[in-house]
A and B are shown apart, each in its own frame.
Chain A
Amino acid sequence: MSEETHTLPIIIVGHVDHGKSTLIGRLLYDTGCLPPDKFSEIQSSSETLGRNLEFAFVMDCFEEERSRGITIDTTQTFFKTPKRRYVIIDAPGHKEFLKNMITGSSQAEAALLIIDAFEGIRDQTRRHAYILGMLGFKQVCVLLNKIDLVGHSQDKFIQLKAEVIDFLNQLNIHPTFILPISAIHGDNVAKPSEKLPWFDGPTVLQALDTFEELKVEEKPLRLPIQDIYTINGKKIFVGRIEAGHLRKGENVYLLPEKKKVEVKNIKKFLENDVPMAHFEESVGVCLKGRHRMKRGQILTADLSSTISDKIKANIFWMDPKGYRAGESLLFRCVTQEVPCRIEKINRKFDPASMELTEEEASSIKGAEVADILIQLDKKVVVDPFNEIPEMGRFVLEKDGRPVAGGIIL
């Protein structure tokens, strides 16, 4: 494994107390990724609080998190298997910390959904699973934790597994594996367990190693303008390629104006002649001729994007305060920032109790999801989320704070 290996970011989600932080502590401990000084710090912190060794303290570092035994904010830690390196993102299980769970999920390429085998599917299991489905997670592994609390029973496992598959399929999630584990005792986490002789599937570690890095697909260029600099008297615009690639000398479009422009040069510090730039690259670009350029314009290879001041979208409301009809918001998608309001709430519901759907609603509460029509103050350039995710997802801000996330249909 070299330093060039991709680090796979994985989110761990699930209901409060179903064992997310404990699982991470166990994974780090069993793979030898927990430094001895960190381990003794956790030991002494657990003792001070009069508890047995709390593996959750590896991730729960705030004093309040440890004394209250909860995870407040999302956190990230690094660990490795012989196959590759991982970033493990822990997400809080409480409803009031949903925005932190979403912050974590937005940075992951695969997910572990943990469910207490004794308690089964609960409110945050439903909410978190719904968010994973909406964000388009294709790689999801379900862990039925605390299998020791149901006597390591195969019957109980089979029954719960059927319920979970049924529930997830409704959200268009098709889990790669459903595994019985006990995070606290280390059963089937890093090694198979003698207490689960009936189970012949993989351990958590083996399941993680089957996840694949998201492949970069060949797509048409999308390069949003981030800023414009004057370097040694020359105008250079900078931005990151959100899809496709860019070649020197190529003819492209400047949107929303649909103006044809020619790429004169691609600029990078200390690199003289850059013939081509790729997906995810932050570059400088000089165009041939004079053009009126500003942040928020998009350089594209074709005219297939939607250019409109009305957008249909699915959103999840993260802010506990909720939304009332008529409130003004700011729409942010790549480098586009445009004031907007929600013109129509076609349908909304709380993913924790999916049957309670409200049509033609006038407000959205915290942790609810909705299918809406947005009216913007001016035209924006977007693509459907399932075609070019980077151009099909957005954040809504209210009074300067992010309150909702959404995807474009």
Chain B
Amino acid sequence: MDHLTRLENKSIYIIREAYYQFKDIAMLWSVGKDSTTLLWLCRKAFFGHIPFPIIHIDTSYKFPEMYQFRDERAKEWNLNLLIGRNEEKLKEGMGPGQGSKLDCCNELKTNALKMVIKKYNLKAILLGIRRDEHGIRAKERYFSPRDSQFKWDYENQPAELWDQYQSMVEEEEHFRIHPILHFTEFDIWNYVKREGLPIVPLYFCKNGKRFRSIGCLPCCSPIDSNAQTIDEIVEEIRISKTSERSGRAQDKENIYTMQKLRALGYM
């Protein structure tokens, strides 16, 4: 079995395990390359009929290309798409220009997600995070319990061995499930290429710049690149010396911002 096939089969096993353990489950789709890969793996796991909703947390600050891509795929793949927004904070004018990045991410992403989880009474959510993205994410489990306050008790994570995942939760808890934790950025692009997956055009170069990681428009900077095809992106990543999230503002504010965001329940 080749490397990508092995990664794929492990992810499908985890997705099916998650659905067996939790019927009140949904997948979080940021529309980026990683969660689009996860969405594709969910389609494979359930033979094209995903039996749970797909949630997009909309900060309202996403790129127009992302909204277009989201709506096209939702229609083409017949997804049960739910949109989560923190309307109250958006009305109050919360945005990247106001206050700290930590507050903005916390309100428009984490708290918007809290509202969705509460509204639909979800017990588990599937997320497309990867170990090689960030040192904090490298410490994650495949099945990660969160308490009612969304806190990640990272000093006391459950043991996880031989694909036996903890699946019991207290009344107010939920699980974060990470089926592509073991993929690297390089693996993702090779997989996108192999599977012929559609991807948001922002990843391809325009006027000598492209996005390597996408989120909200005001907080993402493009990198210098001439990569116009998936092959060229694969080659660029292969020789790259900078880290993937170097263009993401929320990681840079303070060295422990990511840990604090994640402890508060950020994805």
Residue of B whose beta carbon sits closest to that of A6 = B3
B161 near A295 (CB under 8 angstroms)?
no
Chain A contacts of B134 at CB under 8 A? 61
Chain A contacts of B157 at CB under 8 A? 73, 100
Q: Is A393 an interface residue (CB 8 A)?
A: yes
Chain B contacts of A267 at CB under 8 A? 47
Q: Is B49 an interface residue (CB 8 A)?
A: yes
Chain A contacts of B131 at CB under 8 A? 75-78
* Known A-B contacts A99-B159, A227-B20, A402-B158; A3 and B47 likewise in contact (beta carbons under 8 Å): no
Shortest B168–chain A CB gap in Å is 3
* Known A-B contacts A61-B138, A72-B155, A282-B13; A3 and B4 likewise in contact (beta carbons under 8 Å): yes
Shortest B178–chain A CB gap in Å is 12
Q: Is A44 an interface residue (CB 8 A)?
A: yes
A226 near B20 (CB under 8 angstroms)?
yes
B230-261, CB under 8 A of A: which get 1 and which 0? 00001000000111001000000001100100
* Known A-B contacts A38-B243, A78-B132, A240-B9; A231 and B49 likewise in contact (beta carbons under 8 Å): yes
Complex Cα distance, B109 from A310, in Å, reads: 50
Chain A contacts of B10 at CB under 8 A? 280
Q: Is B186 an interface residue (CB 8 A)?
A: yes
Chain B contacts of A332 at CB under 8 A? 164
B17-37, CB under 8 A of A: which get 1 and which 0? 101100000000000000000
A405 near B2 (CB under 8 angstroms)?
no
* Known A-B contacts A36-B241, A238-B16, A281-B1; A78 and B184 likewise in contact (beta carbons under 8 Å): yes
Chain B contacts of A59 at CB under 8 A? 135, 138
Chain A contacts of B243 at CB under 8 A? 35, 37-38
B164 near A395 (CB under 8 angstroms)?
yes
Shortest A343–chain B CB gap in Å is 22
Complex Cα distance, B139 from A75, in Å, reads: 5
Q: Is A103 an interface residue (CB 8 A)?
A: yes
Q: Is A401 an interface residue (CB 8 A)?
A: yes
Q: Is B112 an interface residue (CB 8 A)?
A: no
Chain A contacts of B89 at CB under 8 A? none
A269-291, CB under 8 A of B: which get 1 and which 0? 11000000011111010000000
Complex Cα distance, B134 from A59, in Å, reads: 10
Q: Is A399 an interface residue (CB 8 A)?
A: yes
Residue of A whose beta carbon sits closest to that of B40 = A269
* Known A-B contacts A73-B154, A295-B20; A61 and B3 likewise in contact (beta carbons under 8 Å): no
Q: Is A82 an interface residue (CB 8 A)?
A: no
**B168 contacts which of A75, A106, A399 (Cβ < 8 Å)?**
A399
B9 near A63 (CB under 8 angstroms)?
no
B159 near A100 (CB under 8 angstroms)?
yes
* Known A-B contacts A73-B139, A238-B16, A281-B1; A402 and B259 likewise in contact (beta carbons under 8 Å): no
B242 near A36 (CB under 8 angstroms)?
yes
Shortest B78–chain A CB gap in Å is 13
Chain B contacts of A76 at CB under 8 A? 131, 138
Interface residues on B, range: 35 or more
* Known A-B contacts A37-B246, A227-B20; A63 and B259 likewise in contact (beta carbons under 8 Å): yes
Chain B contacts of A281 at CB under 8 A? 1, 5, 9
Within 8 A of B (CB), among A206-241: 216, 226-227, 229, 231, 236, 238, 240
Chain A contacts of B187 at CB under 8 A? 3
Q: Is B46 an interface residue (CB 8 A)?
A: yes
Residue of A whose beta carbon sits closest to that of B245 = A37
A61 near B259 (CB under 8 angstroms)?
yes
B138 near A3 (CB under 8 angstroms)?
no
Complex Cα distance, B135 from A75, in Å, reads: 8
A229 near B47 (CB under 8 angstroms)?
yes
Residue of B whose beta carbon sits closest to that of A59 = B135
Shortest B138–chain A CB gap in Å is 4
Among B4, B161, B166, B241, which residue has the most Cβ atoms of chain A within 10 A? B161
Q: Is A370 an interface residue (CB 8 A)?
A: no
* Known A-B contacts A35-B242, A102-B161, A227-B20; A61 and B139 likewise in contact (beta carbons under 8 Å): yes
8 closest residue pairs by CB, A with B: A400-B168, A61-B135, A106-B161, A99-B159, A3-B190, A395-B164, A282-B12, A35-B243
Interface residues of A (CB under 8 A from B): 3-7, 32, 35-38, 41, 44-45, 58-59, 61-64, 72-78, 87, 99-100, 102-103, 106-107, 216, 226-227, 229, 231, 236, 238, 240, 267-270, 278-282, 284, 295, 318, 332, 390, 393-395, 397, 399-402, 405
Enumerate 27 A-B pairs (CB-CB under 8 Å) in ascending A order. A3-B4, A4-B4, A35-B246, A37-B246, A38-B243, A41-B255, A61-B138, A62-B136, A63-B256, A74-B139, A75-B139, A78-B132, A78-B184, A103-B161, A106-B161, A227-B16, A229-B47, A269-B48, A280-B10, A281-B1, A281-B9, A295-B20, A318-B159, A399-B168, A400-B167, A400-B168, A405-B159
- Known interface pairs A99-B158, A270-B48; 11 further A-B residue pairs with C-beta atoms within 8 A, sorted by A's residue number: A3-B234, A35-B246, A37-B246, A41-B255, A61-B134, A106-B160, A231-B49, A278-B1, A281-B9, A395-B161, A400-B169
